[in-house]
Amino acid sequence: MARPVIAIVGRPNVGKSTIFNRIIGDRLAIVEDKPGITRDRIYGTGEWIGRTFSVIDTGGIEIDGDDKMLVSIRAQAELAIEEADVIIFMADAKAGVTNADEEVAQLLFRSGKPIVLAVNKVDNLQRMDDIYEFYGLGFGEPVALSGSHGTGIGDLLDAAVHKLPVTEDEEYEADIIKVALIGRPNVGKSSLINAILGEERVIVSPVAGTTRDAIDTPFEKDGQRYVLIDTAGMRKRGKVYESTEKYSVMRAMKAIERADVVLVVINGEEGIIEQDKHIAGYAHENGKAAIFVVNKWDIVEKDDKTMQRFTTTIRDHFLFMSYAPIVYLSAKTKQRLTKLFPVINHVAEQHSRRVPTHVLNDVISDAVAMTPPPTDKGKRLRINYVTQVAVKPPTLLIFVNEPELMHFSYERYLENKIRAVFEFEGTPLRLFARRKSDQE
């Protein structure tokens, strides 16, 4: 099932992003150093007292158009209300209760969503007296925080996690391939589902954002059972929602977390924009099998090099997902649609693939003999043993003498050698270096 969602809402400069970073810790830092992954984050993953949840930092949402502060803050709060199971309402002890705080409080109060009121910048005992006026906002006892000092975060998470809904176990059987369709508005996700199913099961419209809810559609094809997960679009209409492209990333989160295979749908007529990288990057970071589906290929003006050029463009923009195959098709005419499901089946199998330990070690030994690890300040990385510890995605532990000597470039070299032998097409690989003494 999808993780529950906690959103952080409040006016500018109350410290939302600082608290966001405190909650998610270093979970995103590893992948941000890899080439091709955008650094513009508005979402992350947190864990507290055994509960894992997604976190949305509404401070990262930029609203185009009318830039009046209250309009922008209100729009961000509305987005959070739409997405979140629990909302952290952030205020600033130094500034006291402002008109903007009262505006957001009214909106949140009417939403009926569980609210945790957090007052930031309580950096010393004298500031504790400043939180009492926030009782007037109507959300009960405020949680006093200091984002700069890191105090009060545990109390905040205790309060927020306590209000999260109880999640149920996944209802689908293990042999069913769950396929999520993600992509920015108007790339043709719903049309593609209709083409696959051969009937009008979901809303299709040329206007972006018409799918109202996440739609799960189970079906069977050639003896294999699937569930298609269509990414929910915008329930509310208006310029604010239509102009907030990052909103589609937030909507894709839940679908991606529940999927085995993610179809990253790209509009072949419009080409690739930065928003496509945001959405695809989240699938990659969640370790999901992925396929680039270039839709609307029927209306692209083509010569004998068009597909080759588009493929090169995708590879240049998505350096971090070079493993993902590309399928060109038209949902409208069903051109090349028959090519899609053999690829889905293949990447799902690769995503679940397990390699025997002795075979894996033979490949790594050959790779090390061919290109020994470089030295670092006179020390050389020594690889002792490799084993696969998980699937979905395939995850390898590499036991070494000093994990810090495993440079990213050499890790990438080993990954390339593993892929050259075992393929693993369509799935990310996770490689983790561990000290030899940690092998047990």
Show binding-site residues for GTP. 10-17, 57-61, 120-123, 183-190, 230-234, 295-298
CB 402 within 8 Å of CB 435: yes
What are the φ/ψ torsions at residue 166 (nearest 5 degrees)? -75, 125
Strand pairing class (395-400; 430-435): parallel
Question: Which residue carries 């209709």 as its tokens?
Answer: 194
Q: How many Cβ atoms from other residues are within 10 Å of residue 391's Cβ?
A: 14
CB 120 within 8 Å of CB 147: yes
Sign for the CA dihedral angle at 430, 425, 195, 329 comes to positive
CB 333 within 8 Å of CB 340: no
Give the whole-angstrom CA distance, residue 175 versus residue 274: 35
CB 290 within 8 Å of CB 183: no
CB 180 within 8 Å of CB 229: yes
Using the 8-state DSSP alphabet, how is residue 146 labeled?
B
Annotated binding site: 10-17, 57-61, 120-123, 183-190, 230-234, 295-298
Sign for the CA dihedral angle at 121, 125, 128, 129 comes to negative
Closest alpha carbon to 370 in 424, 421, 405: 421
Give the whole-angstrom CA distance, residue 7 versus residue 251: 13
